[in-house]
């Protein structure tokens, strides 16, 4: 079983798929998988019908298993999932997944290069994964220019590539762009023997 990259998510999980596995009872011919069932937080077993959303903050127990055509049950598997309540880390009025730059206030959510990371925390102009001297050189070459011509370098959103943008780039230097919760967190559960 795998739960994306982590069993902790801000705002919640949405489970789109659970693999159906024939229990393969010893001494019986394999009859084929009929359905997958799940139970959340000790509730009753019920057929898995996607999607399942878990959004209540806290620690949750997800039990699941398959039933074959002959009615044999697979051994129930369990995953512990933690949902963390979204918070406004940077004070810009946007919570969790709604914020494309969650460590620096950017209420306008400008993302001129459309990479799901807001301009305010994305000085990686050449998209190589780190803010480096190439990005600093590019910004320096465009100082004093209009954001209409060079929107990606207008990090502070004041309409001009200027000193404020240089200050932001210095603070982000030698770091990856972001962090960002610009994309929703989706989960696929799969069990492999």
Taking residue 83's Cβ as centre, other Cβ atoms within 10 Å add up to: 20
pLDDT for position 173: 96
Domain-wise residue ranges, the chain: 8-85+184-189, 96-172
Ranges assigned E (strand) in the chain: 8-10, 13-18, 33-40, 46-47, 52-54, 58-68, 77-84, 187-189
Per-residue pLDDT 10s for the chain (193 aa) are 333 344 555 566 777 777 777 776 666 666 788 888 899 999 999 998 888 888 787 888 989 888 888 888 888 888 888 887 777 888 898 877 678 888 899 999 999 998 889 999 999 999 999 999 999 999 999 999 999 999 999 999 999 999 999 999 999 999 999 876 544 444 444 332 3
Closest CA to 111 of 100, 103, 102: 100
Among the listed residues 179, 182, 184, 183, the one whose alpha carbon sits nearest the alpha carbon of residue 53: 184
For the domain made up of 8-85+184-189, give the CATH fold: Immunoglobulin-like (2.60.40)
Structure confidence at residue 1 (pLDDT): 34
């Amino acid at each position: 079983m795998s739960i994306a990259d982590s069993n902790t998510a801000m705002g919640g999980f949405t489970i789109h798929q659970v693999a159906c596995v024939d229990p393969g009872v010893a001494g019986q011919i394999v009859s084929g998988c009929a359905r997958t069932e799940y139970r959340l937080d000790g509730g009753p077993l019920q057929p898995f019908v996607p999607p399942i959303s878990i959004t209540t903050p806290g620690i949750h127990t997800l039990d699941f298993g398959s039933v074959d055509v002959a009615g044999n049950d697979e051994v129930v598997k369990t995953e512990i999932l933690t949902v963390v309540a979204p918070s406004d880390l940077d004070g810009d009025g946007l919570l969790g997944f709604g914020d494309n730059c969650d460590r620096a206030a950017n209420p306008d959510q400008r993302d001129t290069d459309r990479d799901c990371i807001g301009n305010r925390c994305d000085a990686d102009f050449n998209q190589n994964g780190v803010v480096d001297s190439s990005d600093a050189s590019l910004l320096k070459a465009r100082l004093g220019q209009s954001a209409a011509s060079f929107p990606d370098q207008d990090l502070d959103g004041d309409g001009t590539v200027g000193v404020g943008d240089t200050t932001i780039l210095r603070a982000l230097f030698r770091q990856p762009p972001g962090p960002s919760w610009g994309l929703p967190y989706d989960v696929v559960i799969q069990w492999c023997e």
